Chain A
């Protein structure tokens, strides 16, 4: 009797598994479909796109749309492709991510290991920065950038992203360093290390996981930003996202879906790259063994 009950339950669990994995597979395919369509479309000629099925694989495989999107597509009045704007974005995102991450680490270090009267208030105010809607500061920021002579430049955009990112990076690092054993800092003090030496030699080397998290977060946010990019830049200094919009939303000529798709994929590649590369180092337990065991 008990055998029958067991086999019945085993059968039920197989059905459950089929249902679960079936659903998972279905939704996985569903979510992958747009990427698939983008990829196949970017390798088709315009004629094939017009005549064929959206989901069909390319009959005459061509990388012409990719080359055009990168080098010769017309954006606005210039026809130099998106490569210049891609460069703008890199030029913006690398310093903005580096500076905001370093400053966040420094803030977290001071807010946890060098506490001063009112440190809680300062942290609360910095957190507040995470909740200010972008739209609310557009005009003041534009005005300030104008006053300091940074309007319409990549430099201005870097400043805006660093300031806006500080709330988040500080939050990340503060919470990470809060759990960082203070005895290590005290030991370093007795060993004669100063403020900066403790930061560079003790804390930063032990911050691998949180640096990765912050870099992924900041890189994705800044790279994908559209609002600041379109508000604070002139036509030649716009970042990738804005250029992509200008390319796709052009109202003149034939709509080149294959070029648009290729450009969109190029625009998405860096964030994808950061996930793939940095994700590998996203390992916990770097601190294992520092304290106790």
Chain B
């Protein structure tokens, strides 16, 4: 049985449905990331797990016990808040010990636990300071320490890195990942940053408008998005989504992408789709990530489905490690990722290698991925 189980969870504010029946589970030691645009209900879901929000329907089970009506303090959880929520009138050590103090843990035991966690997070020198005397990164560390010190069953993180600057955010991300690996804790983590989701999670749940869009490993969510929303939300730059027409060709069905002032692009059907399910004349949306459109030399040699197409370069965006090349097809911009040293100039006609082994198709009406 899973360690954290959420069954048909619903939350309504008056007439507004915020969570419309969420089913999720997480094994012990797992790292679940709830990701989605703002207003999708991810924070509400986290607060419901924490017990800070009442629920309108469904069940929440932690370690096999239904906790629906338990107060937050009775659920054996710890939470790291976006604003860190450190008590301003207490020192770091008092902040960390407060939860144990409220639970009546004797003082020597509290001090030992604080020392242990301070050592783990390398913040022994901060213990006597007040939150106002700490930098943003140090506060973040203290907030994590306060959560760790009680050794709860479940950790909840509410966008903990969004108040840090870019560099610190990457450092703390690694730190959290290390911490998770070292302590084997079970974590539910909310973020709107899909890169954080990809790097940290063992399991990602993508939410939109109070509904789960997809639950899976980072690999699944990234490479086989369940629908157009997930495809667009995960990945940066996001997946190219191009409307194509299915046409019958010599070697089976082909995908035809119309182009202005140019011959249409003809592509073979991606390996992720069963060909016989497609009918000639049917419209589909081809989803192909920028890294699956490369210069021919950079294409995956193991892939059997690489198609090379000539197209005019519109914009070149060097990003150091890679060069993003923009061209046009099916009425939309198409972004390709080429080598960092690729010699490409706007206006040139160059070959683009489409790796259809890594492409997916969507139904334009239902927006669901075709299998």
**Binary per-residue interface labels of chain A (160-191) against chain B in the complex, 1 for a CB within 8 Å, 0 otherwise:** 00000000000000000000010110111111
Taken together as a complex, chains A and B put the C-alpha atoms of A100 and B87 apart, in Å, by 26
- Bound Cα distance A189, B73 (Å): 6
Q: Do B131 and A190 touch (CB < 8 A)?
A: no
Whether a CB of chain B sits under 8 angstroms from the CB of A280 is no
A193-B98 in contact (CB<8A): yes
Identify the closest chain A residue to B75 (Cβ): A190
Q: Distance (Å) between the CB of A252 and the closest chain B CB?
A: 58
Q: What B residues does A293 contact at CB under 8 A?
A: 132, 134-136, 139
Return chain B residues, CB-CB under 8 Å to A190: 50-52, 72-73, 77-79, 99
- Total number of B residues with any Cβ neighbor in A under 8 Å: 32
Residues of B352-368 whose CB lies within 8 A of A: none
Closest Cβ neighbor of B86 among chain A residues: A290
For the complex, give the distance between the alpha carbons of A33 and B102 in Å. Answer: 58
**Which of A59-67, A225-233, A281-289 lies on the face that meets chain B?**
A281-289
A1 part of interface (Cβ distance < 8 Å):
no
Instruction: From A183, A202, A288, give the contact of B132 (CB < 8 A).
Output: A288
**Alpha-carbon gap, A187 to B135, bound state (A):** 20
Q: Which residues of A contact B87 (CB under 8 A)?
A: 184, 187-188, 201-202, 290
B84 to chain A: closest CB distance in Å?
7
B89 within 8 A of A: yes
Q: Which residues of chain B are near A290, meaning CB under 8 Å?
A: 85-88, 131-132
Partner of B83 from A191, A206, A292 at Cβ < 8 Å: A292
- Contact partner of B52 (CB less than 8 A), chosen from A186, A191, A287, is A186
Residues of A contacting B130 with CB < 8 Å?
Answer: 289
Q: Given that A192-B73, A289-B131, A289-B133 are known contacts, is A187 also in contact with B79, CB under 8 Å in the complex? A: yes
B71 contact set on A, CB distance < 8 A: 189
Smallest beta-carbon distance B189→chain A, Å:
16
CB neighbours (8 Å) of A205 from chain B are 89
Residue A250 lies at the interface, judged by CB distance under 8 Å to chain B:
no
Across the interface, do A181 and B83 meet the contact criterion of CB distance under 8 Å?
A: yes
Q: How far is the CA of A202 from the CA of B135 in the complex (A)?
A: 21
Closest A-chain residue to B132, C-beta based?
Answer: A289
Q: Which residue of A lies closest to B94 (CB)?
A: A201
> Taking the complex as formed, is B81 at the interface, i.e. its CB lies under 8 A from any CB of chain A?
yes
CB–CB B88/A183 < 8 A: no
> When chains A and B are docked, how far (Å) is the Cα of A288 from the Cα of B134?
11
B102 and A191 contact, CB distance less than 8 A: yes
Residues of A within 8 A of B88 (CB): 184, 206, 286-290
Most buried by A among B77, B98, B163: B98
Give bound CA distance, A202 to B90, whole Å. Answer: 9
What residues of chain A lie closer than 8 Å to B115, measured between beta carbons?
none
Flag if A186 contacts B89 (CB, 8 Å): no
B83 to chain A: closest residue by CB? A291
Q: Which residue of the partner chain A has the closest CB to B163? A: A292
Whether A192 lies near B85 (C-beta < 8 A) is: no
The closest CB in chain B to the CB of A189 belongs to B72
Tell me which residues across on chain B come within 8 A of A287, comparing CB atoms.
88
The answer to the question of B103 belonging to the interface, with a C-beta cut-off of 8 Å to chain A, is: yes
Give the residues in chain A near B202, CB-CB below 8 Å.
Answer: none
A184 to chain B, nearest CB (A): 5
A235 at interface by CB-CB < 8 Å: no
Query: Is B82 engaged at the interface, CB distance under 8 Å to the other chain?
Result: yes
Contact A291 B52 (CB under 8 A): no
Determine the residue in chain A with the shortest Cβ distance to B77.
A190
Given contacts A190-B79, A193-B102, contact A291 B72 (CB under 8 A): no
In the complex, which residues of chain A have a beta carbon less than 8 angstroms from the beta carbon of B51? 190
Determine the chain B residues whose CB is within 8 A of the CB of A288 once the complex forms. 88, 132
Interface string of B47-90 (1 = CB under 8 A from A): 00011100000000000000000011100011101111111110
When distances are taken between beta carbons in the complex, the residues of chain A under 8 Å from B134 are: 289, 293
Q: Verify A186–B86 contact, CB threshold 8 A.
A: no
Q: How far is the CA of A131 from the CA of B102 in the complex (A)?
A: 42
A248 to B39, CA, bound (A): 68
Q: B98, A183: Cβ atoms under 8 Å?
A: no
- A201 vs chain B, min Cβ distance (A): 8
Q: Which residues of B contact A289 (CB under 8 A)?
A: 88, 130-134, 139
A197 touches B102 (CB 8 A): yes
Closest to A185 in B: B85
| Cross-chain contact B98 with A191 (CB below 8 angstroms) | yes
A186–B85 CB distance below 8 A: yes
In the complex, chain A residues 259-293 whose Cβ is within 8 Å of any chain B Cβ: 286-293
Q: Is the CB of B83 within 8 A of A183?
A: yes
Q: Choose one: A186, A188, A286; the contact of B98 (CB below 8 Å).
A: A188
Tell me which residues across on chain B come within 8 A of A186, comparing CB atoms.
50, 52, 72, 79, 81, 85
Q: In the complex, which residue of chain B has the Cβ closest to the Cβ of A181?
A: B83
Docked complex Cα distance between A286 and B88 (Å): 8
- What are 14 pairs between A and B in contact, CB < 8 Å? A181-B83, A183-B85, A187-B81, A190-B52, A190-B99, A191-B73, A193-B73, A202-B87, A288-B88, A289-B139, A291-B84, A292-B83, A293-B132, A293-B139
3 smallest CB-CB distances across A and B, nearest first, come from: A289-B132, A290-B88, A191-B99
Other A-B pairs, 12, CB within 8 Å; known A183-B82, A288-B88: A184-B85, A186-B50, A186-B72, A186-B85, A188-B87, A190-B52, A193-B98, A193-B102, A205-B89, A289-B131, A289-B134, A290-B88
